[in-house]
């Protein structure tokens, strides 16, 4: 997600090599003797993106280790990193079920039924693969944490789903959705990476909080990019949140802070974007949210979470790995994709 | 699934009490402080049916134990039984995604999109719950087995999916689908139930094979009920397999054994049932498959698997729990629901 500066050597190199190990382990664990399974798994590669969770697991492992960087990472770190990425990938694949459903609503796919089922099953295969992978570790803690975090993620998604089109969604519930849906897994990646280096529980806990706070900031930035981003830069279609009835932070803050007249205009723009997500309506909504400072306040909210996250890094000894975690934390909200 | 005769006392009573413990553990583990999650979990209860997997896990635990029946079952047995039922339930919920898609194709649901997503997420919540539950055990083997079996189940489903409408599907591939999709989890329930009683690996292996063979027979019987069963007795809609393009054993045997003329008629009837699954076509297909003895041969195939399964029970010492496993084995193919 970021290019670490060369003065953090040897961390950038160790990280790059480690991420290569994670990718190999990921692929090897999902390999199947059945052709249709192997074919689908090959498609999963197109989802592989920022590798944020593996990078955090490895960097937290490096930063918590008593060893020198070149010797600090073990198979346990790669296993934890690959497990977290597999869980994340499963959520992306299952999100596709929704996307395919949308395409189907416009009647485009010929074999939508089979496509839908394959996406559900492939996602399940990834979840099962993730649990199986981390169950192979000697330490039982990763399997327990990943199991409990996965339950929290689903609960967060269901909470979000039940608040679709709920214009009264309050900040507390919104934050709870983000912490469960996005923060919990990123927190686990950091915590488990540290534990695999033999870090004390207090350090692992601080890094879990770092990851949790960063995850919330990451998701707010994602929502801002959906609202304001340029499709070609973001790399996926934008303006989808309003179309899906998803209420995100700028909307919550706007409805809370804007004067009555502006609120009416915002709700009308939201309704229009909901009804016609492919037209100009999402852009009009974005402009209104920007005008009433809701976008600016959302950015400040994300930045505040990053600041709090970076404070947790004080639990670590100073060094290039801690500095890399600091830079990665800032990058989460300074990204345009 | 069966009423065990009173002369097997105290096994029927111990089993009934044990299944009560499993149900409590199941509910407690899925409990959520979030209302939308709790609501959906409550709906899952309507899926709870035969409790075949928990019953097998507990009976294998009883049959392998050195303790007397009233003291033989522990929290480990209940955990394994609840885990297997949760994985099974997750597959049922994810099957619903397909069913809801069908209903949507006929344009009936208003909020089909949200329904679809909730089913995917609820299934994921159940899978995560299952893994988390068994990761809490001291013994790491259940988590590893459940992880690997879950991967096999998804692979089996994907293999079946890729063979939709494949009229050249051979018996070997069909059997592989059934072993992975249905047999593997039932085998794991039996194996892990025995291991939780401290059974030697050879006994646990024999019971795994018992469960695997029984699972295949169970699935063949399920397919026969879909073809021939009475909707009111079966308790779910019948004739759906052909409509979904699923090629099952009677069809495979008929295409292999029937003379050319009959084959042409069977393929025509299959095409008609595929195109119009709600009309008379599935009944006509069933009649043709019955005429050419494919139904009879399918029953013999299932019965042969049950016979082989029961042979594996010789690994156990004689007694009422072993006798209960024998009766349950026979019941798998002598059921009308």
Interchain CB contact of B97 with A (< 8 Å)? yes
ipTM: 0.93
Q: Integer distance in angstroms from the first to the last C-alpha of chain A? A: 9
A155/B32 Cβ within 8 A? yes
**For position B82, what pLDDT does the model report?**
98
Question: What residue has token string 């010789």?
Answer: B314
pLDDT at A5 over 90: yes
- For residues A147-157, give the mean pLDDT: 97
**Which pLDDT tens digit goes with each residue over B156-172?**
999 998 998 999 999 99
Q: Is the CB of residue A4 less than 8 Å from the CB of residue A12?
A: yes
- Which of A188-192, A252-256, B242-246 bottoms out in mean pLDDT, i.e. has the lowest? B242-246
Give A90's contacts in chain B (Cβ within 8 Å): 124
Nearest in space to A133 (alpha carbons), one of B155, B191, B135, B120? B135
Please give the structure tokens belonging to residue A312: 């947790």
Indicate the residue of B35, B114, B135 with minimum beta-carbon distance to A147.
B135
For B247, list phi and psi in degrees, rounded to 5: -95, 120
Search chain B and give the residue with CA nearest A176.
Answer: B34
Give B114's contacts in chain A (Cβ within 8 Å): 161, 164
A127/B158 Cβ within 8 A? no
CA A136/CA A289 separation, integer angstroms: 48
Helix (H) or strand (E) holding B258: none
Q: How confident is the model at residue A100 (pLDDT cuts 50, 70, 90)?
A: low
Interchain CB contact of B36 with A (< 8 Å)? yes
Domain at A6-332: CATH code: 1.10.600.10
Supply the DSSP string of A223-264, one letter for each residue.
Answer: HHHHHH--HHHHSS--SHHHHTT---HHHHHHHHHS-HHHHH
Pick the more confident residue, A136 or A43. Answer: A136
Please tell me the distance in Å from B2's CA to the nearest CA on chain A.
Answer: 32
B154/A122 Cβ within 8 A? yes
Q: What is residue A212's three-state secondary structure?
A: helix
B135/A144 Cβ within 8 A? yes
Helix then strand then coil, % of chain A, to nearest 5: 80, 0, 20
Give A118's contacts in chain B (Cβ within 8 Å): 158, 161
Interchain CB contact of A48 with B (< 8 Å)? no
- Which of A164-168, A271-275, B40-44, B163-167 bottoms out in mean pLDDT, i.e. has the lowest? B40-44
Indicate the residue of B36, B98, B147 with minimum beta-carbon distance to A128.
B147
Question: What residue has token string 């949210």?
Answer: A289
**For position B104, what pLDDT does the model report?**
33
CA dihedral A240, A150, A41, B209 (to 10 degrees): -150
Please give the structure tokens belonging to residue A311: 């404070």
Question: What is the 8-class DSSP label of residue B332?
Answer: T
Point out the residues of chain B with pLDDT beneath 50. 101-114
A120/B158 Cβ within 8 A? no
Question: What is the 8-class DSSP label of residue B167?
Answer: T
**For position B105, what pLDDT does the model report?**
34
| HSE-up (13 A, CA, CB side) for residue A4 | 23
Angle at CA of residue A260, ends A256 and A262, nearest 5°: 85
**For position A94, what pLDDT does the model report?**
87
Indicate the residue of B114, B129, B161 with minimum beta-carbon distance to A151.
B129
Residue B211 Cα to chain centre, angstroms: 11
Question: Taking the domains of chain B in order of start, what are their residue ranges?
Answer: 6-332
Please give the structure tokens belonging to residue B167: 């009229």
Helix (H) or strand (E) holding A16: helix A11-30
Interchain CB contact of A161 with B (< 8 Å)? yes
A36/B162 Cβ within 8 A? yes
Residues contacting A237, CB < 8 A, separation 6+: A231
Mutate to test the interface with A, among B97, B126, B166, B169 (most CBs of A within 10 A): B97
**Which pLDDT tens digit goes with each residue over A315-336?**
999 999 999 999 999 999 997 7
Residue B67 Cα to chain centre, angstroms: 29
CA B303/CA A260 separation, integer angstroms: 73
Nearest in space to A163 (alpha carbons), one of A175, A151, A150? A175
What distances in angstroms separate CA A164 from CA A158, A161, A203, A246, one per listed residue? 10, 5, 37, 5
Interchain CB contact of B327 with A (< 8 Å)? no
**For position A234, what pLDDT does the model report?**
59
Mean pLDDT score of chain A, rounded to an integer? 90
Give B40's contacts in chain A (Cβ within 8 Å): 158
**Which pLDDT tens digit goes with each residue over B70-85?**
999 999 999 999 999 9
CA dihedral A274, A275, A278, A282 (to 10 degrees): -40
Give A42's contacts in chain B (Cβ within 8 Å): none
pLDDT at A115 over 90: no
What distances in angstroms separate CA A201 from CA A320, A335, B135, one per listed residue? 22, 32, 20
Give B79's contacts in chain A (Cβ within 8 Å): none
Interchain CB contact of A306 with B (< 8 Å)? no
A121/B90 Cβ within 8 A? no
- For residues A94-117, give the mean pLDDT: 51
Interchain CB contact of B187 with A (< 8 Å)? no
Q: Is the CB of residue A227 less than 8 Å from the CB of residue A146?
A: no
A 214-253 → B contacts, CB under 8 A = none
């Amino acid at each position: 997600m970021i290019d670490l500066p060369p003065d953090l050597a040897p961390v950038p190199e160790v990280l790059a090599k480690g991420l290569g190990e994670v990718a190999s382990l990921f692929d090897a664990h999902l390999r199947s003797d059945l052709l249709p399974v192997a074919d689908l798994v090959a498609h999963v590669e197109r989802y592989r993106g920022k590798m944020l969770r593996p990078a955090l697991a490895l960097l937290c492992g490096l930063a918590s280790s008593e060893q020198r960087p070149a010797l600090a990472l073990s198979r346990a770190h790669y296993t934890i990193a690959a497990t977290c990425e597999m869980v994340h990938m499963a959520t992306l694949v299952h999100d596709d079920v929704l996307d395919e459903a949308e395409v189907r609503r416009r009647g485009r796919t010929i074999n939508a039924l089979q496509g839908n089922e394959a996406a559900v099953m492939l996602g399940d295969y990834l979840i099962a693969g993730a649990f199986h992978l981390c169950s192979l570790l000697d330490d039982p803690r990763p399997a327990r944490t990943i199991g409990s975090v996965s339950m929290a993620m689903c609960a967060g998604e269901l909470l979000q789903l039940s608040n679709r089109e709920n214009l009264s969604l309050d900040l507390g519930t919104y934050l709870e959705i983000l912490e469960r849906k996005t923060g919990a897994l990123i927190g686990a990646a950091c915590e488990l990476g540290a534990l695999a280096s033999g870090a004390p529980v207090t350090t692992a806990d601080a890094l879990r909080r770092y990851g949790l706070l960063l995850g919330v900031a990451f998701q707010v930035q994602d929502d801002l990019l959906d609202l304001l981003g340029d499709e070609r830069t973001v790399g996926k279609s934008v303006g989808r949140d309003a179309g899906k009835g998803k209420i995100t932070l700028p909307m919550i803050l706007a409805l809370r802070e804007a004067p009555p007249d502006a609120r009416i205009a915002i709700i009308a723009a939201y309704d229009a974007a909901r009804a016609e997500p492919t037209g100009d309506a999402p852009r009009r909504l974005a402009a209104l949210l920007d005008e009433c400072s809701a976008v600016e306040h959302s950015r400040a909210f994300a930045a505040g979470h990053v600041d709090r996250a970076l404070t947790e890094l004080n639990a670590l000894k100073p060094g290039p790995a801690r500095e890399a975690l600091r830079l990665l934390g800032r990058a989460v909200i300074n990204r345009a994709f």
